[in-house]
Amino acid sequence: MNVWQPLTHPVHHWTVRKPGAESSRGIVVSQAYDASAAGVAVLEAGGNAVDAAIAAAFALSVVEPWNSGLGGVGFALYHGHEQKAATSVHFGPVAPRRLRPEMFPLTGRPGTELFPWPQVHDDINAHGPLSFCLPTAVAGYGSMLERWGTMPLSEVMQPALALAKRGLATDWFTTLMLAQAAPVMRRYPDAARIFLRDGLPPVPPYQGTPGFMPLGRLSDTLEQIANAGWRDFYRGDLANTIVNDIEKLGGVIGREEMADYEIETADALPVQWGGATIQLSAGLNAGSTLADVLAMLPPPAARGSLTEPSAQWYADMAKALKSAYRKRLNEDEGPNAEKGCTTHINVCDSNGSMVALTTTLLSSMGSRVVLPSTGFIVNNGVMWFDPRPGTSNSIAGGAKALSNMCPAIVSRDGRPVVVGGAAGGRRIMAAIAQLLLFVQDFGMDVGDAAHWPRIDVSGPDKVSADRRLSPEVIDALKALGECEVVDHNVLPINFARPSIIERFDGVTARGVSDAFSPWSAALSSRD
């Protein structure tokens, strides 16, 4: 007999099924069960979709520190049940005013981080205090709550406070996520003290129940925000503490720009799609690029009687995504990252109001710096900018960066019916395009749609195809050019992590979280 040759290694050999949620009282979906539970607790206390989304966002800052936090940035969409269209909320990355290109000398070698920029000496644009962009997330959360929420901030933040006092779960997934950032994080004393043990990620016990690690001064900071209000983070005693810490570390974010910061809002970007409107974020994110993708796809009527995506459908999707990315990269010279550490929240309340909120620290554990007096991690948003001078995306004081976040809400006759979004850097847009259309065009149950195999296109040249796709689909994709067949798994992360809620009938919402995120959860308010 011929000797068997092990040419590939199966990353896993199992069938994964993520439970969904169904309720007429509301649903919260996030990448961490604890955060979804925090949002549900607020719904059950009488809060609306915005109250629940902000509760979940603050909770994620505690239980998912590698993806988001008080030092992060983000974008959101809100479509209230009494509104005819969604509002786009922008609290994306803003460079410090004193930032200058000469602060980032180049080594002459290729970069080692998320983006294809030339390497900066000691990667100081990717980690450390000079990598900080303004921490805008708290302003985003607080402003949304003031404009559309019904509960005071002090009540909405109670679940996050309780979680912060409990600490971060030390299970296998925590070990995995902290391990990615540990090689750099151990260079920064406060981050290493909180999140590492002797410079290594903590490991759960071999047997028994994993415990929780204390999170330093984070609970004190959350309590101050809850009691003094979110503006204290930008203009009060807390702001002074934050800026003092940044200055001592060598960062350049100043008091005045913290005090001056305000979020932006705009009408959502509407895309007519059959009998629906796909509403996208209008800011410096992937919303306009997804609109380009939809414009290049055959209209819904062209699929005929198909009840599931065909090989031709996937090929059309791949071509549209490639073309849209070619335009995006040529026109915007924007980020070219294939991975990212982001998180997303979807909420639908009992009235049918919907929120899609995406927030990030950019890299895993952001800048890897914990501010010593406040206990939160700051983003490394400076890495969004090209360190070479003279480009449209060059490092500049006060500049705003283009990101890959892409929250979406679908409406019919002015009523929100689907809310979705994803985490995963440049993989986000492909995931959202497919998941929305699985549900909108093919009438898939959200649970089936979340588990349906997808493709990823994160640039103009290559397609990644889920190994579960049929040979006919794989052949159609290979006919277009480079196509890599890959596993959909926890790590490597070959696909974005999307989630979705639908409420087509106007009464009962149904939601599901990302199938391959072990912590993610769609939870329902009790009927």
pLDDT by residue (tens digit) across 173-230?
Answer: 999 999 999 999 999 999 999 999 999 999 999 999 999 999 999 999 999 999 999 9
Six token digits for residue 251: 């960062």
Give the pLDDT band (50/70/90) at residue 379: very high
Sign, CA dihedral 254-255-256-261, equals positive
The DSSP secondary structure of 28-87, one letter per residue, reads: EEESSHHHHHHHHHHHHTT--HHHHHHHHHHHHHHH-TTT--TB-EEEEEEE-TT-SS-E
Structural contact between residues 410 and 279, judged by C-beta atoms closer than 8 angstroms = yes
Of residues 8 and 437, the one with the higher pLDDT is 437
- End-to-end Cα separation, the chain, in angstroms: 63
Of residues 489 and 55, the one with the higher pLDDT is 55
Structural contact between residues 81 and 509, judged by C-beta atoms closer than 8 angstroms = no
pTM score over 0.75 = yes
pLDDT by residue (tens digit) across 10-30?
Answer: 788 888 899 999 999 999 999
User: With pLDDT > 70 as the criterion, what percentage of the chain qualifies?
Assistant: 97
Alpha-carbon span 23 to 236, nearest angstrom? 41
Query: Is residue 313 classed as helix, strand or coil in its secondary structure?
Result: helix
Side-by-side strand order, sheet with 276-280: 21-23, 509-512, 497-502, 415-423, 408-412, 276-280, 269-273
Query: Is residue 308 classed as helix, strand or coil in its secondary structure?
Result: coil
pLDDT by residue (tens digit) across 87-108?
Answer: 999 999 999 999 999 999 999 8
pLDDT by residue (tens digit) across 124-151?
Answer: 999 999 999 999 999 999 999 999 999 9
Alpha-carbon span 63 to 86, nearest angstrom? 29
Six token digits for residue 92: 């994306």
Contacts 24+ apart (CB under 8 A), 242-246: 242/135, 242/371, 242/373, 242/374, 244/373, 245/371, 245/372, 245/373, 245/374, 246/129, 246/132, 246/371, 246/378
pLDDT by residue (tens digit) across 515-527?
Answer: 999 999 999 998 5
The closest of 44, 41, 42, 38 to 25, measured between CA atoms, is: 44
Give the pLDDT band (50/70/90) at residue 9: confident
The closest of 359, 493, 482, 502 to 435, measured between CA atoms, is: 502
The closest of 141, 387, 123, 407 to 269, measured between CA atoms, is: 407
Six token digits for residue 357: 């909120």
Give the Å distances, CA to CA, from 454 to 151, 272, 289, 304, 488.
Answer: 39, 23, 19, 21, 9
Structural contact between residues 73 and 135, judged by C-beta atoms closer than 8 angstroms = yes
Based on the number of CB atoms within 10 Å of its own CB, is 355 exposed (0-12), middle (13-18) or buried (19 or more)? buried
Range 353-364 average pLDDT = 97
Q: How far is CA 23 from the centre of its chain?
A: 25
